[in-house]
A and B are shown apart, each in its own frame.
Chain A
Amino acid sequence: MPELPKIPSVSEMMALASDYMPFIPKPAPRYVSEAGKPVHGIIAQFSKTPAVVHAAERVRDAGYTKWDVMTPFPIHGMEESMGIKRTILPAIAAGAAITGVAGALAMQFFMNSDYNIVVQGKPFLAWEPFTPITFELGILVTAFTCLFGMLALNGLPRFHHPLFARDRFLSVSDDTFFICIEASDPNFDPARTRALLESVGAESIELVEDEDR
């Protein structure tokens, strides 16, 4: 089964909205750092692809749900290692394609019957000449849905994120891999989570605070 969006509770929706809209109050943090700031999570750094894939499998098996692996490039097979379900994006795209095709046909049928032009004695509503535009509009709507659907499912654009505040994290776009286990995960425990990340061979481990609050 591909991933299906779960219907979030009101508090989850408020928490999500607060990530994007500063005027919405953030939920009370589960953990607070020594500096008195809310804890976003713990990140662990890796420098080799096999190491991070192996570590991800261990974190998955430990039962965490709110965690993520940041990699400079998509790693083949990471979905399996992280236990991510297949995305529903292709299904959404198929829906968009049907919409585009239906819309284009409806538009052409309506407009050519609303305003009849005699061309070469062809039938006014022949399907043949409608094919090119029907096809093109189907593609156009699908393409927009693909890009914006991908962004929406990913919760992007989101220009601010606690991870960006960590100097170390910026090298993710170069050649470094990170695993981040978030404090909102029900299994999260500062000591045990850190111990797990240490045991999977992390090269360094850092606490990520939510600098915003």
Chain B
Amino acid sequence: MSQTQAPATSIPIPERETPRAYLTEAQWRKRLDKLAAHPAMRHDNIHLPEGATTKLSGLLLIAGAAALVITILGAFAINARHALAAFEVGLFTCVAMSLGALFLTMVFHSLNAGWTSTVRRQFENVASLLPVCWVMLLGVVLIEVLGGGILLTWLSEEMAGDHLLEQKSPFLNVGFFGVRFLIYGLVWLVLSQIMVRTSLKQDETGQRGLTRVMRFNSGWGLLVFALTTAFFAFDFLMALDFRFFSTMWGVYFFASAALASVSVVVLVLAVLKGMGRLTGAVTEEHFHDLGKLILSFTVFWAYIAFSQYFLIWYSNIPEETAWYVYRTGEGGYKALFLVLAFGHFVAPFCILLFRKVKRITGLLAFMAAYMIAMTVADMIWIVRPMVYVGEHASENPGVWGGIWLDAAGIVAPLCIWGFFLVRAVGASPLIPLKDPMLHEALAHKNYV
């Protein structure tokens, strides 16, 4: 509006057409060609050379196998309950990372996110390990069922007459537990395969419609994800103490899952950057945003953990409070509780607030590794106190007795899982090659 014309009211707004915005197939192909010429899309920048991962994956496999052997030996040397608990701590961390990655892949699709295009492939790789996790879980389930309830005490004969267990038996019985376990496996397999395969197919064909296929499947996928994650957490973590119950439990596990998955993806990306890959494709801007995700999931975890603790603390009803009494009491668990409060929330929250920490790859990778360690600590805090309770209290070797078994048991599933992850990373292009939002991710920048 020029200065001479007064901004009088009631000036009619001219009618105008909205241009119909869409790319024809030819325009889309043209854009793909342009993208292919982008400096970040050089072949060696977004692919790992043949055999680059064999050394690392071999190392992880050997370490995992060795740790597994030590764990099995420990089961005989110290205690089968102790060994299984340690293995479960590592395994639940793996499940959390893979489930969280599946969740975030689906969220990126349903939000139509642009900047995530170049980092999404690593989330897909982590999510693709869900069947691996399920197979390892199957081992745990078989040991539990055949061993007559080692940690899942509701399976054991001794508890048969328990009043609470009788009330809960329509849910806590071997048959229904098996059915649920099969459903988790099936749902996770289908969802992770849809996300991973469709994305890989798009790499080849460059069809934009595949993005809509993934978006569509993310809708219902998130719903069944929420249900299976919650019930997985009930079955495998909450039911370690079948008397305990908390409606928040599924959300609590989910918070860890989301946090650990972003952390592991940051680690993978940092390693790839260290190998001289992804220059220009994943920049400090992407790390900045991933760092923000880590920060926000740290806060979310603290919010859920605090709310659950706080409501149970305040109401002080015996059937719930017992769970926290174990975990804030003797045997070093009080210390672990404080480690979680400060180490899982206060310290990372204060550190990750700094912009620089999120933008320097090395620092953020350190924080990511630290957050995975804290997730492991969280799982220890949940699982480990159930080993030496009740009549088993006399067998307790103390906090540091049998620490080697704890270490081996935790490391074994993580290494085996890591072996498959390294293989998955090496097997496909490091970023989706023909994602419709790739141009946004390549030009991504955080203003302010």
Which residues of A are at the interface with B, using a C-beta cutoff of 8 A? 76-77, 94, 120, 122, 128-129, 131, 167-168, 170-171, 174-175
Q: Whole-angstrom distance between the alpha carbons of A174 and B6 in the complex?
A: 12
> A94: which B residues are within 8 A, CB to CB?
353
**When the two chains form the complex, which single residue of B3, B314, B316, B447 contacts A171, counting CB atoms closer than 8 Å?**
B3
The distance from the CB of A87 to the nearest CB of chain B, in whole angstroms, is 10
> B366: which A residues are within 8 A, CB to CB?
none
Beyond A76-B447, A77-B447, whether A128 also contacts B314 by CB under 8 A is yes
Beyond A76-B447, A131-B306, A131-B310, whether A120 also contacts B3 by CB under 8 A is no
**Inter-chain contact A168/B316, CB cutoff 8 Å:** no
Q: List 7 A-B contacts (CB under 8 A).
A: A76-B447, A128-B310, A128-B313, A129-B314, A131-B306, A171-B1, A171-B3
Number of residues on chain B facing chain A (CB within 8 A)? 13
> For window 269-324 of chain B, which residues contact chain A by CB distance below 8 Å?
306, 309-310, 313-314, 316
Residue of chain A at shortest CB distance from B3 = A168
The distance from the CB of B448 to the nearest CB of chain A, in whole angstroms, is 8
> A122: which B residues are within 8 A, CB to CB?
314
Residue of chain B at shortest CB distance from A204 = B3
The distance from the CB of B314 to the nearest CB of chain A, in whole angstroms, is 7
**When the two chains form the complex, which single residue of B1, B310, B445, B447 contacts A174, counting CB atoms closer than 8 Å?**
B1
Beyond A77-B447, A94-B353, A131-B306, whether A174 also contacts B316 by CB under 8 A is no
> B1: which A residues are within 8 A, CB to CB?
171, 174-175
> B313: which A residues are within 8 A, CB to CB?
128
> A170: which B residues are within 8 A, CB to CB?
3
B161 within 8 A of A: no
Residue of chain B at shortest CB distance from A126 = B313
Residue of chain B at shortest CB distance from A170 = B3
> B445: which A residues are within 8 A, CB to CB?
76-77
> B2: which A residues are within 8 A, CB to CB?
171
The distance from the CB of B318 to the nearest CB of chain A, in whole angstroms, is 14
Q: Whole-angstrom distance between the alpha carbons of A65 and B368 in the complex?
A: 41
The distance from the CB of B79 to the nearest CB of chain A, in whole angstroms, is 35
Interface of B is mostly: loop
- A-contact 0/1 string along B224-261, CB 8 Å cutoff: 00000000000000000000000000000000000000
Q: A170-B3, A171-B3 are in contact. List 20 more A-B contacts (CB 8 A).
A: A76-B445, A76-B447, A77-B445, A77-B447, A94-B353, A120-B314, A120-B316, A122-B314, A128-B310, A128-B313, A128-B314, A129-B314, A131-B306, A131-B310, A167-B3, A171-B1, A171-B2, A174-B1, A174-B7, A175-B1
Residue of chain B at shortest CB distance from A119 = B314
Q: Whole-angstrom distance between the alpha carbons of A174 and B5 in the complex?
A: 13
> A175: which B residues are within 8 A, CB to CB?
1
Q: Whole-angstrom distance between the alpha carbons of A94 and B122 in the complex?
A: 34
Residue of chain B at shortest CB distance from A90 = B355
> B3: which A residues are within 8 A, CB to CB?
167-168, 170-171
Q: Whole-angstrom distance between the alpha carbons of A129 and B313 in the complex?
A: 10
Residue of chain A at shortest CB distance from B4 = A167
The distance from the CB of A90 to the nearest CB of chain B, in whole angstroms, is 8
Residue of chain A at shortest CB distance from B310 = A128
> A171: which B residues are within 8 A, CB to CB?
1-3
The distance from the CB of A125 to the nearest CB of chain B, in whole angstroms, is 15
The distance from the CB of A9 to the nearest CB of chain B, in whole angstroms, is 32
> A76: which B residues are within 8 A, CB to CB?
445, 447
The distance from the CB of B75 to the nearest CB of chain A, in whole angstroms, is 39
Q: Whole-angstrom distance between the alpha carbons of A197 and B372 in the complex?
A: 55
Q: Which of B3, B353, B447 has the most CB of A within 10 A?
A: B3
> For window 1-58 of chain B, which residues contact chain A by CB distance below 8 Å?
1-3, 7
The distance from the CB of A110 to the nearest CB of chain B, in whole angstroms, is 22
Q: Whole-angstrom distance between the alpha carbons of A24 and B284 in the complex?
A: 49
Q: Whole-angstrom distance between the alpha carbons of A94 and B1 in the complex?
A: 42
Residue of chain A at shortest CB distance from B306 = A131
> A129: which B residues are within 8 A, CB to CB?
314
Q: Whole-angstrom distance between the alpha carbons of A170 and B2 in the complex?
A: 10
Q: Whole-angstrom distance between the alpha carbons of A171 and B6 in the complex?
A: 10
Q: Whole-angstrom distance between the alpha carbons of A46 and B353 in the complex?
A: 38
Q: Whole-angstrom distance between the alpha carbons of A170 and B3 in the complex?
A: 8
